[in-house]
A and B are shown apart, each in its own frame.
Chain A
Amino acid sequence: MATSTINHIIIIGSGSAGWLSAGLIAAQSHLTHNAKVTLIESPNVPTLGVGEGTWPTMRQTLKTIGISETQFMRECDASFKQGSRFDGWCHDSHKGKNNEYYYHPFSLPVGYQNLNIAPYWFSQHQTVSFSHAVSSQTYLCDHNKAPKTHLHSDYQSQANYGYHLDAGKFAQLLNRHSVDKLNVNHVIAHVDDVINDEDGYISAVKTREHGIITGDLFIDCSGHHGCLIDKHYQIPLLTQDHILFNDRAVAVQVPYANDQQEIVSYTKATAQDTGWIWDIGLQTRRGVGMVYSSKFESTQGAKDKLISYLKTTQSDLDTSELTIRELKFTPGYREQFWHKNCIAIGMSAGFIEPLEASALVMVELGLNNLLANFPTHRNALPELAKRFNLQCHYRWQRIIDFLKLHYVLSTRTSKYWQAHRAQSATPQSLLANLALWQYQSPWLNDFDRSQEVFSAASYQYILYGMKHLPQFPEMKMPAGVIKHFTNNQQDAKHTLAKLPTNRQLLNHIQKFGLQPI
């Protein structure tokens, strides 16, 4: 018989999502009235270990959990990420000429707090790219600079940043910290059965090794297995492959040519005829993979494209030694994310594709929502579930719109890209926005929730990075606006001179660490 207060939270699953949940919940026991936290890890189920990119939100998340940035970076092979660069997304690549690219940096455009600067850039679009004009961070990316110096403290920044990390090592660090420092109860056991009470709430899970484990709130972090949300409650997955139809990936880990090779501080996404290739620089290796659609590409074809890409980045790379992993996924999200006393977090809730690295941030956002209004009594669950589900639906739809934006603006001509541009494959909400943005620039009112996943700034970076400019009357530039543009260039010059390279700072952190203050 379940109690009516929420005293015991059970997390199923031991990947990044499971341990992030355990860490974030246990570190904020003041919000859960000291509820006990147990994480059940299924033995012999390898975690997927994708999701090597985070958003800047991860800095606050790690701080809240109580892990120092120095420890995190040392133990997770982590490096700094300042945004994404999209290579070849606008036009077909021609042999020997494939240098078209644009950035989506993490820093907001200059003056963003008070001013939409985008319309003032339109008249300059032929001389300077949007992101170079409005974000000095773009120059830092160009020069493989770190977003801070060794005199900055843990988590403090000069330019906004997130991380590239080794997802397996990340889960291990969170595991150790949660168990040793935050009193999370770690149980390794197969979950054989899920037991409902008379109201259909989960009262316990039956495990092979440790018998029955009772709890009040269950968090399903079991990935695409969805052992509670899917197998037990059979909440359907709303597939999205009619909009975003990438459903396969092949991935590989590539060593650096030598210990002097620059560590790139952005995720590089290079368009292919049947998908795109991610390239992520960790401290000791790169993580590279091709995500594609099985309707347009074979596994072998994807592997060939991946290998040929790798050779363009390093001609003497011995690709015969590399192990290529194959991944399958169904793009989609749940009809409900919170049902009764069960909440799906991570891949069990949904996954679309790795573009813009939205997987880990959705874990963070979901947990922050849960904790900000944590149910102390079971009677509060239905209303909180309703709100949580509405919020998550909104977010997934916004993610889909934003990811889709990257494809619909392209002029690439292969069948895959043509299929992406079909009207029937584009959400109405995006079509409506695109119609509006033919005449004006995305701005705050277009996305007015307090916790939007992607802001108007992100839309501007993609639209104008892909040179999708509106019909707009030429605007006279007030002195204040000119000042923003010149300040940005000066700031770029100043920070370029001051900041070490990504690799230099990572080496320094290995040797000396950063200070907590």
Chain B
Amino acid sequence: MANHVLLDNISHKDLKVNVSRGEKWGDAISCTTIFPNEFTKVQASQPIVFRKHPHTGQFEALALFGFENNENLLLDKQGNLTLSYLPLSIQRQPFLIGQQTQYSQGVPEQSLVVHIDLDSPRINKEQGEAIFLEHGGNSDYLNHIAQVLNTLHSESQALPAFFEPLLALNLIEAFSIEYQQKNAEKVTVGGFYTINQNTLNSLTPEQLQNLQQSGYLQAIYMVIASLEQIPMLLSKKWAQQ
């Protein structure tokens, strides 16, 4: 269970964060949220798929690590996770962004604040990166985290603008991943969406140019290229059975 609290340099002054990556640190996850600016790096090693967020129903992008709950096929035999690029949504752990209402001369203003998940196995007092300096100032690590959280916030604000033209151009189609277990049982994992390549190929030069100018065309091609990583993940799944 998560236990999110507002980070402060008094209650949390001695806390350290273990930044190792692996199963015991909470990285046994089958996917993580990513953003279009990360697609180029992610596609080199994981499939990128879209899905509807379970609560909002809005489209989001995921880097896929496995096909079942808590299945991360990229963990090595020792349970360590080595990724050439670590998505921001993993880098931020165990911190997250929160909103706070502050009143400036009686006018409510929303400001962004840092929260920490005190139940994260990464948190301890002995090992890892210190969050605060001895006298209460922010460590470089915390400054880095603040930057990551800021980027995540602005990327998630910009996400609807990415999906909007894709949906308007009918570029998004549903798909499912089917595979066969070693025991011959067939499994279908559905609820995924990707780019419809036929539609993409039939766009007019003007439509393509618009996508290119907004920077989305490259992201689109990265999503298509990343699908080649699905067989790679499946072969890892087979190897484990």
Interface residues of A (CB under 8 A from B): 150-151, 508, 512-517
Nearest B residue to A517 via CB reads B172
The reply on B167 being an interface residue by CB < 8 A is yes
The one of A150, A508, A514, A517 that contacts B174, using a Cβ cutoff of 8 Å: A517
In the bound complex, CA of A105 to CA of B170 (Å): 33
A515 touches B56 (CB 8 A): no
In the bound complex, CA of A517 to CA of B191 (Å): 11
The interface residues of chain A lying within 8 Å CB-to-CB of B172 are: 517
In the bound complex, CA of A515 to CA of B160 (Å): 11
The one of B56, B58, B173 that contacts A517, using a Cβ cutoff of 8 Å: B173
In the assembled complex, the CB of A41 is this many whole angstroms from the nearest CB of chain B, namely 31
The interface residues of chain B lying within 8 Å CB-to-CB of A517 are: 167, 170, 172-174, 193
B58 touches A512 (CB 8 A): yes
6 sampled A-B residue pairs with Cβ under 8 A = A151-B52, A151-B57, A508-B57, A512-B57, A515-B57, A516-B167
In the assembled complex, the CB of B171 is this many whole angstroms from the nearest CB of chain A, namely 10
In the assembled complex, the CB of A329 is this many whole angstroms from the nearest CB of chain B, namely 42
Question: Which residues of chain B from 162 to 221 have a CB within 8 Å of any chain A CB?
Answer: 167, 170, 172-174, 191, 193
B58 touches A515 (CB 8 A): yes
Name the residue in A151, A514, A517 with the highest tally of chain B Cβ atoms < 10 Å from its Cβ: A517
Interface residues of B (CB under 8 A from A): 52, 54, 56-59, 167, 170, 172-174, 191, 193
In the bound complex, CA of A273 to CA of B167 (Å): 53
The interface residues of chain A lying within 8 Å CB-to-CB of B54 are: 151
In the bound complex, CA of A516 to CA of B172 (Å): 10
The interface residues of chain B lying within 8 Å CB-to-CB of A151 are: 52, 54, 57, 191
Known: A512-B57, A514-B57, A515-B52; 6 extra A-B contacts, CB below 8 A, are A150-B57, A513-B57, A515-B57, A516-B167, A517-B172, A517-B193
- Chain A, interface SS category: loop
Nearest A residue to B52 via CB reads A151
The interface residues of chain B lying within 8 Å CB-to-CB of A512 are: 56-58
In the bound complex, CA of A447 to CA of B222 (Å): 54
In the bound complex, CA of A508 to CA of B53 (Å): 13
Name the residue in A151, A512, A513 with the highest tally of chain B Cβ atoms < 10 Å from its Cβ: A151
The interface residues of chain A lying within 8 Å CB-to-CB of B59 are: 515
The interface residues of chain B lying within 8 Å CB-to-CB of A508 are: 57
The interface residues of chain A lying within 8 Å CB-to-CB of B167 are: 515-517
In the assembled complex, the CB of A342 is this many whole angstroms from the nearest CB of chain B, namely 39
The interface residues of chain B lying within 8 Å CB-to-CB of A150 are: 56-57
The interface residues of chain A lying within 8 Å CB-to-CB of B56 are: 150, 512
The interface residues of chain A lying within 8 Å CB-to-CB of B57 are: 150-151, 508, 512-515
Nearest A residue to B196 via CB reads A517
Nearest B residue to A505 via CB reads B57
Nearest B residue to A509 via CB reads B57
In the assembled complex, the CB of A415 is this many whole angstroms from the nearest CB of chain B, namely 53
Nearest B residue to A152 via CB reads B57
In the assembled complex, the CB of A7 is this many whole angstroms from the nearest CB of chain B, namely 29
In the bound complex, CA of A512 to CA of B54 (Å): 12
The interface residues of chain B lying within 8 Å CB-to-CB of A514 are: 57
Nearest B residue to A511 via CB reads B56
In the assembled complex, the CB of B20 is this many whole angstroms from the nearest CB of chain A, namely 36
In the bound complex, CA of A292 to CA of B57 (Å): 44
In the bound complex, CA of A305 to CA of B59 (Å): 49
The interface residues of chain A lying within 8 Å CB-to-CB of B173 are: 517
In the assembled complex, the CB of B217 is this many whole angstroms from the nearest CB of chain A, namely 20
In the bound complex, CA of A150 to CA of B167 (Å): 17
Nearest A residue to B59 via CB reads A515
The interface residues of chain B lying within 8 Å CB-to-CB of A515 are: 52, 57-59, 167
In the bound complex, CA of A151 to CA of B52 (Å): 7
The interface residues of chain B lying within 8 Å CB-to-CB of A516 are: 167
In the bound complex, CA of A517 to CA of B57 (Å): 11
